[in-house]
A and B are shown apart, each in its own frame.
Chain A
Amino acid sequence: MNITLNGVSRQISSPPLTPLLRVLRNELNVVSAKAGCEAGGCGACTVLVDGRPQRSCLTAVGSLNGAAVTTLEGLGTSENLSAVQQAFVHHYAAQCGFCTPGMVVAATAYLDAGGSDDKEAIQEALGGHVCRCTGYLKIVNAIAAAATQSEFDLTITAEEPNVVVKTGGR
């Protein structure tokens, strides 16, 4: 069977019930999608299947013959980042980065479907994506920014509202 992975047709030799996540990581060596829980609960493995976000850990590869699969690698390159990727950099929306590929893919799908910069709508759309490091605020801010802006200054970090730095002491 075949899938189109990030625009390139790839032949799959894994058995049809193999999760797409395992096929990507073990057979095709595309490792941006992360194995967080492998039970559908964390979102770290999210990829786009024909443009829609899907948990690759729960997707049997046999169901995808002829489908177009997009991973983080298909959204942009380090020289040419997508708007969402730039927004994540500009807003420093990662600490360890484990959840980030899933977040970026899901945010891309949300915005491609016409999603707005409304914070509650973003929280609802990405509610199933767990991040244990950032506290989500910068991720929400990054996605909201990418809803209205397509270029970001990558040489500086966005000023966060509600952050005060006080220098004092001895």
Chain B
Amino acid sequence: MAVHRGRGVAAIEYPTGMNQNGDPSQAWIKVKPDGRVDVFSGTADIGNGAKTIQSQIVAETIGVPYDWVTFDNSNTDSSPVCTGTFASRATFVAGKAVLKAAEEVRHKLLEIAGLEMEASADDLEVVDGEVMVKGSPTEKLSVADVAGAATYGHGQLITGTGAQLKPYAEILDPETGVVSSPPHSAISYAACAAEVEVDDETGNVRVLKLIQAYDVGKAINPALVEGQIQGGAIMGLGLAVLENAYPYYPSVEHRGYGFGSYYSPGMEDLPELETIIIENPSADGPYGAKGIGEMANNAQPAAIAAAVHDAAGVWITELPITPELVLKALEAKAEPRREGKLVAFDDEISVNTVGAGISWMP
């Protein structure tokens, strides 16, 4: 009886947004007379950082400090439509909608600034809250002054709207599945390598280390995306070895009855984590971003199952990989062959051969 170590790897690719079905997001932005920016977008922030990311996109695109931006998604009447936070789409689709709205705002801002500064809007740029003549940074006017002039001098509101939609695609040929428009261009790629320890006496699997490499397109907020990848890792660990809605099979009456019978990972299950963020930009996401929300917990179960095979020589094809499943698999594998008077363990499948490379015979 021993504890075996093993390693496994799994890779995944994942599309962003709802392909071929249409999932609109819209946004509108207005600039207050003091230059501060209000963003109205319907994206719910469920911990994915939608508010932060979209505010960053707006600040960057207009050219004002991040803390000038107020993001309001509190009211479904005042915010335009956003299909929602799902399908890893909040940054990729809704982020693109606010980006377009912010571009319109910058355009309008430069027009008014052009009137104020007697310059062509094309010759102006916005840098850190100030409008300046390109190449001549001493000639400048603060965004606050431009917004004030728009309000009180020109009788205008600096505002912009933006919308993003992948239109509904017709199926052209049901045989081949060819559709009338191509899918979103943002496919994210990732891989996870797992190191585990399998106790062949108890069947217990302990995940020691997860190394993850995620192609996020562009890490608009590295700290947030790190958190998403690390959180996904632990959720994937839970799916792999712990979480089960029906822990007390065989019949449905024995399903879990509450929080205490659902084993989600705790702090003590935390393995060593290594995160590699790869920026391989998408063609049409905001600043090249892709979405990785949902894929973040998909590669780990497969990598962990492969690591269990590497460690103990058994493939577990059901999740979660409970001690019971491991022990049953080991038992089935260790079933001896009878050759006349001889009782033999099969070389290839015997757990006793793992690592040692020799078969055990009585």
> In the complex, which range does the number of interface residues on chain B fall in?
35 or more
**Mask of A68-111 contacts with B, CB within 8 angstroms, 1/0:** 00000000000000000000000010111110000000000000
- Nearest chain A residue, comparing its CB with the CB of B260: A41
A: contact size bracket = 35 or more
Closest-by-CB residue of B relative to A122 is B267
A7 contacts the other chain (Cβ, under 8 Å)? no
Q: Which applies to chain B's interface (DSSP): helix, strand, loop or mixed?
A: mixed
Question: Closest CB of chain B to A132's CB: distance in Å?
Answer: 7
> Is B259 touching A37 in the complex (CB atoms < 8 A)?
yes
Is the beta-carbon distance between A166 and B268 smaller than 8 angstroms?
no
Question: A98 contacts which chain B residues (CB < 8 A)?
Answer: 47
Instruction: Kindly specify which of A11-19, A24-32, A58-66, A137-145 makes contact with the partner chain.
Output: A137-145
Chain B residues with CB under 8 Å of A96's CB are: 46-47
In the complex, whether A124 has a CB less than 8 A from a CB of chain B is: yes
Cross-chain contact A97 with B267 (CB below 8 angstroms): no
A114 part of interface (Cβ distance < 8 Å) = no
User: Closest Cβ of chain A: how far from B65's Cβ, in Å?
Assistant: 12
A113 on the B face (CB < 8 A): no
B223 contacts across to A, CB distance below 8 A: 92, 157
**Alpha-carbon distance between A123 and B260 when the two chains are bound, in angstroms:** 19
Over the window 121-164 of chain A, the binary record of Cβ atoms lying under 8 Å from chain B Cβ atoms (1 yes, 0 no) is 01110111111111111111000000000000000010010111
A8 at the interface (CB under 8 A from B): no
User: In the complex, which of the residues B222, B230, B259 contacts A134, with contact meaning CB atoms closer than 8 Å?
Assistant: B230
State A157–B268 Cα separation when bound (angstroms). 25
B224 within 8 A of A: yes
Query: Do the beta carbons of A130 and B260 come within 8 Å of each other?
Result: no
Q: What are 11 A-B pairs with beta-carbon distances under 8 A?
A: A92-B226, A92-B227, A94-B227, A132-B231, A135-B233, A136-B265, A137-B270, A163-B277, A165-B222, A166-B277, A166-B279
Beyond A138-B226, A170-B280: 14 further Cβ-contacts under 8 Å? A36-B259, A41-B260, A95-B48, A131-B231, A131-B267, A136-B267, A137-B270, A139-B267, A140-B267, A162-B273, A163-B276, A165-B278, A169-B279, A169-B281
